[in-house]
Amino acid sequence: MRTHGGRRSARRCPSFVKTGWILVCLTALRAGRAHGQVLACQALYGERAVTTEFFQKSAEVSRLLLQRAGGELLEVNELVSQGDLAEMQGRAAPELFRLALARLQTLADSLAAVETGLKELADIHSQDRLLSVYEDTLAKILRDFSARGRARLRGLRHSNVGGREEASQSLTDLRGILAAQRTDLAVVRRQLGETIEALRMALPAGEKGRFMAAMFAGRSRFFAKWQQSVELFETYRRFYVDSCDCTLAAVAQVYPAGLQWLEEPGTATERKGSKGVGP
């Protein structure tokens, strides 16, 4: 940064630099959707039914977060971008900003459904004991992950979002993973509420064709809040995927423990000519 007379310049970060960071996060989200990334947590219990129920619910939560909510976030960005472009071309497009607000509220509903699913996962987890070999293996994996993964939730740009430091503790077991996923999601949802309110307050400027002018002149908080939402969602998505990946790595390392029935005659992979699916 340039200095004048030994003092730091008070110039703000250029808008194109901030916009570039949004594009990095959104590109990561688009890449995940294009490759159909739906990575679910997996756990091994004494009862086969609990193992199956846990995986089924986890896959449902992953689809809600990675496909539905991620897609809604991208749609909001597209609507706002179209509205901005319309203003650059000399015409107001308030209907696009109103639609973006509606989509943001839909995104909030989807994240609420993710929260419900994570709570249901915790309830399923309490129904049975994990296999000790899986539990011990996961603990070893998490000893490395704790220092590597959770730090990503710190240092959010352009904000001092309250509650972010709640997620700084190390992970040691599956219960901790599920609790951390819920804690971090609460931060995402809390901040998203601020973004929704900021866009609602900016709508009158959009009605006059002055939405972009209000943002860049500092009269609207929406641009800063939207940057926070995109970055925080992407941070959470990475943590969710990485923590689920730890559970899958533990299953792979102890296999076939807890999944012996996959090797039994009559499973789906061995029913030649059968149209049925599943064990």
* Three-state SS letters, the chain: CCEECCEECCCCCCHHHHHHHHHHHHHHHHHHHHCCCCCCCCCCECCHHHHHHHHHHHHHHHHHHHHHHHHHHHHHHHHHHHHHHHHHCCCCCHHHHHHHHHHHHHHHHHHHHHHHHHHHHHHHHCCCCECHHHHHHHHHHHHHHHHHHHHHHCCCCCCCCCCHHHHHCCCCCHHHHHHHHHHHHHHHHHHHHHHHHHHHHHHHHHHCCCHHHHHHCCCCCHHHHHHHHHHHHHHHHHHHHHHHHHHHHHHHHHCCCCCHHHHCCCCHHHCCCCCCCCC
pLDDT score of 55: 96
Q: Which tokens hold the place of 110?
A: 């989807």
d(Cα 175, Cα 190) in Å, to the nearest integer? 23
Q: Can you read off the two tokens belonging to residue 43?
A: 């756990």
Burial string for 117-130 (b: 16+ CB within 10 Å, else e) reads: bbebbeebbeebeb
**Rounded distance, CA 55 to CA 121, Å?**
9
Compute the distance between CA of residue 252 and CA of residue 83 in angstroms, rounded to an integer.
48
Predicted confidence at residue 97, as pLDDT, reads 97
Domain boundaries, the chain: 14-155+163-261
pLDDT for res 16 = 37
Distance CA 30, CA 147 (A): 28
Reading phi first (left if > 0) and then psi (alpha if -120 to 50, else beta), residue 39 is in beta
CA distance 173 to 247: 9
Cα angle, residue 59 at apex, residues 264 and 237 outer, rounded to 5°: 135
Read off the tokens for 88: 């650059």
Ordered per-residue pLDDT tens for the chain, 279 residues: 444 444 433 334 444 334 443 544 454 444 444 444 468 999 999 999 999 999 999 999 999 999 999 999 999 999 999 999 999 999 999 999 999 999 999 999 999 999 999 999 999 999 999 999 999 999 999 998 864 444 344 555 544 444 444 445 688 999 999 999 999 999 999 999 999 999 999 999 999 999 999 988 888 899 999 999 999 999 899 999 999 999 999 999 999 999 998 887 665 544 444 443 343
